[in-house]
Amino acid sequence: MLFKTKKRYEVRTAGDEVLKETAKPVAAITPEIRDLAQRMVESMEIFDGIGLAAPQIGVLLRMVALDVPPADDDTRLTQGELALCPLMPLVIVNPEILFASAEVGEREEGCLSVPDIYAPVVRPQRVMLRAQTLDGQLIECECGNLLGRCIQHELDHLDGILFVDRLTREAAAEVARPLDQLLHYGSKHNFKRVKIK
């Protein structure tokens, strides 16, 4: 007979101070880092996200889990989507954006740490990503479409920035009320979403 141990998963929500901190680089890929990567992937899946940064589960390290589909057929795929999407779910370590395209675009974003709130954010269309995999492999590729967007959103988390910090005045006004409600709710629940599985 099999007994399944239930695990508790938590995601920190807007208002938690940890989401405003700058995360530290990962010094070496140790067994603890691999365990953390596993927990990040499980948390991302359980909360139905396409990306999750370590600070969102309360760990101030520069690690990001991604599970992003490539853009659909009519869109030109970037080198990053071709290289990375087949590897997902994927955890990247010490990611950096080497440079971003001058061309920007607007797209609606959401966040596991800002549940049920969506708003358009303007960001560069493509970014050159450099990161390491858990196997120590160096990634360097141009990422656009949803992947480029997700990478920029997740890397912001490593520097204590939420997408709601990047809204235009108009977009910020649109979400001001639900965001206030979220902060109020969070203050009563230790700024945590919890799922047991």
Residue 141: name the closest of 128, 151, 152 by CA: 128
Nearer Cβ to Zn ion (53/84): 53
Task: Decide: is 151 part of the binding site for Zn ion (CB under 5 A).
Answer: no
Task: Decide: is 65 part of the binding site for Zn ion (CB under 5 A).
Answer: no
Determine which helix (DSSP H) or strand (DSSP E) holds 148, and give its type and residue range: helix 145-158
Q: How far, CA to CA in Å, does 105 sit from each of 59, 101, 108, 124, 145?
A: 31, 10, 10, 6, 10
Nearer Cβ to Zn ion (36/111): 111
Using DSSP, how many helices (H) and how many strands (E) does the chain show? 4, 9
Sequence-separated (6 or more) residues with CB below 8 Å from residue 94: 25, 26, 62, 63, 131, 132
Expressed in percent and rounded to 5, the helix, strand and coil fractions of the chain are: 35, 30, 35
Residue 46: name the closest of 61, 65, 32 by CA: 65
Task: Decide: is 66 part of the binding site for Zn ion (CB under 5 A).
Answer: no
Binding mask 70-109 for Zn ion (x = CB under 5 A): ----------------------------------------
Q: Which of 66, 91, 111, 127 binds Zn ion (CB under 5 A)?
A: 111
Q: How far, CA to CA in Å, does 62 sit from each of 76, 159, 182?
A: 29, 9, 26
Nearer Cβ to Zn ion (77/91): 91
State the minimum distance, in angstroms, from the CB of residue 88 to Zn ion. 17
State the minimum distance, in angstroms, from the CB of residue 53 to Zn ion. 7
Task: Decide: is 50 part of the binding site for Zn ion (CB under 5 A).
Answer: no
State the minimum distance, in angstroms, from the CB of residue 157 to Zn ion. 6
State the minimum distance, in angstroms, from the CB of residue 187 to Zn ion. 20
Nearer Cβ to Zn ion (10/29): 10
Q: Is 109 a catalytic residue?
A: no
Nearer Cβ to Zn ion (111/179): 111
Sequence-separated (6 or more) residues with CB below 8 Å from residue 40: 52, 54, 57, 63, 65, 91
Q: Which of 32, 154, 170, 174 is catalytic?
A: 154
> Active-site residue numbers?
154
Contact set with Zn ion (CB under 5 A): 111
